[in-house]
Amino acid sequence: MRRLLLCAMTFMLVFAVGVSAQPTGSLAGWGYNSHGEAEPPAGEDYTSCSASYTHGLAMKADSSIAGWGWDLDGAATPPAGNDFQAASAGWYFSVALRTDGSLYGWGRNDLGQTNVPAGNDFVMIAAGQDHGTAITTDGSLVGWGDGDAANPPAGNDYTAIVAGCHFGLALKEDGSIVGWGSNSQGQSTPPAGNDYVAIAAGGLHGLAVKADGSLAAWGCDWFGEVSGAPAGNDFVAVAAGTYHSLALKADGSIVHWGDDANNQDQVPAGNDFIAIGGTGDTGVALRYSDVLLGDLDGDGDVDLADLAQLLSNYGMTSGAIYEDGDLDGDGDVDLADLAALLANYGVGNP
Ligand SMILES: [Ca+2]
Ligand SMILES: [Ca+2]
Ligand SMILES: [Ca+2]
Ligand SMILES: [Ca+2]
């Protein structure tokens, strides 16, 4: 019994540390915005972001998923629960990775987009236009959905995947990139080399960051989404839209090139971004928050005073602000906010 209790306490401690160790931040959206695609929810507790042509998804610090944008077929309404570690927005459908390593798909399923494989040995996911791909614990790829994009190559040395419109790209352990699926514009024929560290797949083009911080681009160039790639050695991440491209610089700023017909070039200003996404005409970015999640009184720690402040407003159903304890910014103070505070409890050496 005592051992069991110890195990449980250790698990809770590891869980709490794991949660609070992840940098959190707020979401910024821009570009195509017919159904709120460019209007992600408020809050300071997001840990990752993903956006497609139709909608966006973001992971929260409490391991739940937030969705926004065009909710056709329910794609922008994620399942409830606090047992998710990743979420990826496809076109009209979505895929999530649970903390137990299993997959969950929702939204449109006319082409098998949400027919995710069974099992609980998955570590990474990517949702494209009509297909999805996952990496398993042994480093192999599994695909589902429509067309050749649903049939990734064999091998067990993959470390990252991305999904575009009818094609996919994967990064291998040796730093090389492989592509599969539609190749009408050379989008699934990435350049040779063993020095790539990050990849992105868009409409008909691909992007990569090299180990030296420079960019590589290939495929369709109708709007300069390939040839317009900026020079320099200070890039850390890329996102490929339908006909435009985005890159995150080491200084935390975002740059755009290619198509701007839907305000894709209206990237948010600032140099505090830690992640970018967007495979359609809408962009999303995660802005690092220096707000210590749960520090309601702003004195640099999360302690009993903050907890008391939240509990005094617990159950507030509308109009709550951060100082009231609304950590996820949805206007109320409930269990989700309490969990977020408790995950950081003790941070800042009270
Ligand atoms: Ca405090
Ligand atoms: Ca204090
Ligand atoms: Ca709330
Ligand atoms: Ca709530």
Question: How far, in Å, from the CA of 290 to the mean position of ligand 1?
Answer: 14
Cα separation of the two ends of the chain: 32
C-alpha 238/C-alpha 242 separation (Å) is: 14
Question: How far, in Å, from the CA of 18 to the mean position of ligand 1?
Answer: 20
Which residues, at least 6 apart from 333, have a Cβ–Cβ distance to it below 8 Å? Answer: 310, 313, 314, 315, 316, 320, 324, 325, 326
- What pLDDT was estimated at residue 15? 42
Question: How far, in Å, from the CA of 298 to the mean position of ligand 2?
Answer: 8
- What pLDDT was estimated at residue 289? 85
- Edge-first strand listing for the sheet containing 254-258: 235-240, 244-249, 254-258
How buried is 153 (Cβ within 10 angstroms: 0-12 exposed, 13-18 middle, 19+ buried)?
middle
Ligand nearest to the CA of 338: 3
Question: How far, in Å, from the CA of 341 to the mean position of ligand 4?
Answer: 13
pLDDT tens for the chain, residues 1 to 350: 444 443 343 334 334 433 445 788 999 999 999 999 999 999 988 999 999 999 999 999 889 999 999 999 999 999 999 999 999 999 999 999 999 999 999 999 999 999 999 999 999 999 999 999 999 999 999 999 999 999 999 999 999 999 999 999 999 999 999 999 999 999 999 999 999 999 999 999 999 999 999 999 999 999 999 999 999 999 999 999 999 999 999 999 999 999 999 999 999 999 999 999 999 999 999 999 878 889 999 899 999 999 999 999 999 999 999 999 999 888 999 999 999 899 899 998 76
- What pLDDT was estimated at residue 337? 93
- What pLDDT was estimated at residue 83? 96
- Domain annotation for the chain: domains and CATH numbers: 22-288 (2.130.10.30), 293-350 (1.10.1330.10)
C-alpha 123/C-alpha 91 separation (Å) is: 22
Question: How far, in Å, from the CA of 306 to the mean position of ligand 2?
Answer: 7
Contact 296, 306 (CB under 8 A): yes
- What pLDDT was estimated at residue 7? 39
- What pLDDT was estimated at residue 129? 97
DSSP state at residue 91: S
Contact 47, 59 (CB under 8 A): yes
Any alpha helices (H) in 62-107, and if so which ranges? none
DSSP state at residue 120: S
- What pLDDT was estimated at residue 290? 78
252 CB neighbour count, 10 Å cutoff? 15
Distances (CA, A) of 140 to 18, 124, 161, 193, 199: 26, 11, 11, 21, 17
C-alpha 39/C-alpha 28 separation (Å) is: 7
- What pLDDT was estimated at residue 23? 83
Ligand nearest to the CA of 306: 1
The partner residues of 208 in beta bridges, in order of sequence, read: 199, 216
Token duo for residue 294: 């749960």
The partner residues of 217 in beta bridges, in order of sequence, read: 207
- What pLDDT was estimated at residue 251? 94
Name residues with Cβ closer than 5 Å to ligand 2, which is an ion: 299, 301, 303, 305, 350
Question: How far, in Å, from the CA of 332 to the mean position of ligand 3?
Answer: 4
Q: Under DSSP, is residue 13 helix (H, G, I), strand (E, B) or coil?
A: helix
Ligand nearest to the CA of 300: 1
How buried is 234 (Cβ within 10 angstroms: 0-12 exposed, 13-18 middle, 19+ buried)?
middle
pTM of the shown model = 0.85
